[in-house]
Amino acid sequence: MVFISTNRCNLEISSVPLITGQKTPKNQKARKMLHEVMQHSSNENQKVQEWWESERRIRQQNEERQHKSVVLRQQSTDQIG
């Protein structure tokens, strides 16, 4: 008998026994709950990864705009002088 205890994404399964080879309603329910918790965790990780990628793109765009602004400002002062 294997016991799994996990506390992820505010979902808690404490000491859920997983009995290999037996298909009891209790065992199937425990496996289904564990699968749902793992799927939820995977979905949350995907959301976090997408957020980080979005933040990286925004920072990169801001840096490019700032650089372009500095170049344009420099060119305008060069034309005046």
For 24-76, write each residue's pLDDT tens digit: 778 889 999 999 999 999 999 999 999 999 999 999 999 999 999 999 999 99
Amino acid at 80: I
In this predicted structure, what is the pLDDT of residue 19? 54
Is the pTM here over 0.95, yes or no?
no
| Closest alpha carbon to 30 in 49, 5, 47, 52 | 5
Number of domains in the chain: 1
Domain that holds residue 13: 2-80
Whole-angstrom Cα distance, residue 3 to residue 15? Answer: 5
Cβ-Cβ contacts under 8 Å for 43 (sequence gap 6 or more): none
In this predicted structure, what is the pLDDT of residue 25? 77
Whole-angstrom CA distances from 69 to 1, 72, 78 are 65, 5, 14
